[in-house]
Amino acid sequence: MENSWVNRDLYPFESRFLEIDGHQIHYLDEGSGVPILFSHGTPEWSFGYRDVVRHMRGQFRCIAPDLLGFGLSDKPADADYSVAAHARRMEQFIEKLGLRDFHMVANDFGLSIAFQYVLRHPENVQRISLFNGWMWPLDTDPHYARPARWMRTWLGRLLYLRFNFPVTVVTPAAFGDKKKLTPETHRHYKLALPDPESRRAAYVFSAELLYATGFWAEQWRQIGTLAQKPCLIFWGMKDSFVPPYELERWQKALPEAQVMRFENAGHFVQEEEPEKMAEALRVFFGA
């Protein structure tokens, strides 16, 4: 698979691939020790976790897959890109790698995708960390539902597929400190979704804000399973996409969780504060 556009100074990892449902899933697998599975959202890929992994691979085995339709994974036109389908593929990914007694770190859409495994197999996951994401229905909250409905219009579809709206517009706006999204970093998100055909998975996620209600409702009904796990929550307090009021919901549901707020970070904490995140994770995971 051609990925010569990847700057190996920024992303100095061996590309690995695993076949799931006939498609090639790209992932990085760095270091040794207790495994940590990193799960990304949209329009991200494992590139977003690069600095966290670089800081942690000396003590842990760091594994970060690219969801089907993202990053360096295959982007088939006819695939099921619903969160439920991604969750099923994530479980297959974990099983094929034979991961046991591992930790999880997840954000955005990747949170519910990865944590579905925790709900189904709580005995196999030791500790969890989450940031700037959700596991409950969003269709009744105008903050999410209004733009999601707009994205279903012809104009929204055009902007998403033809002009790569989530990468060119949403991603820069999601940073608390805009200077931390350098042109070279931004290029790696643009070239991961280079044409309309490659942006289908990201576009489906915009619809899932309305259509994945049943999946998330069932997950939230089982939140007590997560409450039994040691949990570390990070939150970028300048996130205008998954706002700080959602952190309060997490704290009520997971009252024993540790919380670390980043007052000047936005949605992508792993991009804006990777060193602080890695240091906190090393302590929390017991390095």
d(CA 177, CA 268): 10
The one catalytic residue in 108, 121, 188, 195 is 108
Range list of β-strands (E), the chain: 16-20, 23-30, 35-39, 61-65, 102-107, 125-133, 231-236, 258-262
Residue position matching structure tokens 């055009």:
158
Reported as type and span, the H/E element at residue 226 is helix 223-227
The yes-or-no answer on residue 267 being catalytic is yes
Helix (H, G, I), strand (E, B) or coil at 131: strand
- 247, 233 Cβ separation under 8 angstroms: yes
d(CA 76, CA 191): 17
The yes-or-no answer on residue 108 being catalytic is yes
Q: Which amino acid is at 254?
A: L
- Give the active site residues: 108, 239, 267
